[in-house]
Copies of this chain bind each other. A is one copy, B any other.
């Protein structure tokens, strides 16, 4: 891990360093001192870019949330049968999680002691609700099995998707990423068992 030179520092590099430190130490356990050391710049240089660590948290989780909410406006999420739309959203959520791994990891670990953390949790729940609504619509269309409770299914679906932050490590191979997103969608919608 190299430390960037002061004259090449941008808000973007500072953000990526901050997210790494937040994920390593936890947001609560991170001080401006830790950020300054990890970034290799003085605290006053950091304050030149942001008002403090809470602003860095807000920017970081916003990046994850913007990526996730953008999915819901994509053609695959707004056109067609609900069951196809929710499967599309599942696949794309996995892709955004892989593409924005440290940011989504931070979002999922946020626990709610500050206003920013509570806001992030609220927005995350809102995303989950939007997906639950899609699942509800698919059930109303008669496209989902009737013996599964939608609220429970939503939690299990996100449990499976979000578990990726625990073990997924970025891979340069695009085929690998496509396969992972496809596997999650297959497992969630068609299950492991071979159709008999």
Chain A interface (Cβ < 8 Å from any Cβ of B): 83, 135, 138, 142-149, 152-153, 155-164, 166-167, 179-180, 183-184, 186-195
Contact = CB atoms under 8 A, between A and B. Distances in A.
B144 A156 contact: no
A139 to B, nearest CB: 9
A144 B187 contact: no
Nearest to A83: B193
5 contacts: A144-B192, A149-B179, A159-B166, A187-B191, A189-B191
Contacts of A192: 135, 138, 144-145, 148, 153, 157, 188-189
A194 B142 contact: yes
A156 B179 contact: no
A154 to B, nearest CB: 10
A50 B142 CA distance: 57
Given A148-B183, A157-B192, 10 more contacts: A144-B192, A145-B190, A147-B186, A152-B180, A152-B183, A156-B160, A156-B187, A159-B160, A159-B164, A188-B191
Q: Which 4 A-B pairs have the closest CB atoms?
A: A159-B163, A191-B191, A160-B160, A190-B191
A156 to B, nearest CB: 5
A128 to B, nearest CB: 11
Contacts of A189: 191-193
Given A152-B180, A158-B163, A163-B160, A193 B194 contact: no
B145 A194 contact: yes
Contacts of A152: 180, 183
Nearest to A141: B194
B193 A145 contact: yes
A159 B164 CA distance: 8
A114 B48 CA distance: 41
